[in-house]
Amino acid sequence: MNRLYGLIGFPLGHSFSARYFTEKFQRENLSGYEYRNFPLESIRELPAMLENHPGLLGFNVTIPYKQEVIPSLTALSAEAREIGAVNCVKITPQGLYGHNTDAYGFRKSLLGLIGPMRPDALILGTGGASKAVGYVLRELGIAYTTVSRSGGPGRLCYRELTAEVMHSHPLIVNATPLGTFPKVAGCPALPYETITPAHFLFDLVYNPPLTEFLRRGKAQGAAICNGYEMLVGQAEKAWEIWNDPAQL
């Protein structure tokens, strides 16, 4: 009997997860395992998808459903509850259990970029991915400010990013989809000329490996990191959750 896992989101034309897990099953000689994409145009399609695939054991969640999926779940891990976003769901006879493994993957990859330093940060974006980023930065004792197109209470908008703001926030994390393939020319509207070799730029986007955001930062001498290692980390953590009988 096949052991089935999958991914929900929309669109899913260039999914990392399906390729990663298919290659993992081949590499580790895991016969009878399958990972499928389930592109849902609305989260309201989730119950029918689950009914049509009764053997599904777990699934990942990507844009735009990391927050919308929560009302459909039986329970959340403490981490997912605090973050307010879910990217991994374990299916058990008792129900659907939501987890956030983005935080694990981001923490591991970020520490590889900044080492023991704890620079103040700007988080670009306010979606589900940004919530996991904020959670990890708080855990690490890194002060941060969120940036969005419209600003708002406790947030900055891009036109408020002065040279002073940029210099006082050496870590900049892009948690938006800007620059993702195929729209590779896109990037957050930063004053890139204010970036220096003292800056760290982290992009959650992994395709292309060198986004326009990272390219511009690298040209100014900044240290850069894309989202690939974060994705690998979150995928392996999801695999651990799905296959640990003691963990809901």
Mean per-residue pLDDT for 59-75?
A: 96
Give the pLDDT confidence score for residue 234 in this predicted structure: 97
- At residue 1, the pLDDT reads 59
pLDDT tens for residues 202-246? Answer: 999 999 999 999 999 999 999 999 999 999 999 999 999 999 998
CB environment 34-44: b (16+ within 10 A), e (fewer): bbbbbebeebe
| CA neighbor of 235 nearest in space, from 13, 73, 3, 6 | 6
Name the class of domain 103-229. Answer: alpha beta
Per annotation, catalytic residue among 24, 66, 131, 218? 66
CA distance 8 to 13: 12
Predicted local distance difference test score (pLDDT) of residue 139: 97
Domain ranges in the chain with CATH number 3.40.50.720: 103-229
* Residue ranges of the chain that CATH labels 3.40.50.10860: 3-100
Q: Which percentage of the chain shows pLDDT scores above 70? A: 99
Torsional class of 135: left (φ above 0), alpha (ψ -120 to 50), beta (otherwise)? alpha
CATH classification for the domain delimited by 3-100, as one of 3.30.70.141, 3.40.50.10860, 3.40.1440.60, 3.30.1360.120: 3.40.50.10860
State the pairing for strand pair 155-157/121-124: unpaired
Q: What pLDDT does residue 221 have?
A: 98
The answer to whether 131 is a known catalytic residue is no
Please provide the average confidence, as pLDDT, over all residues in the chain: 96
- Band (174; pLDDT cuts 50, 70, 90): very high
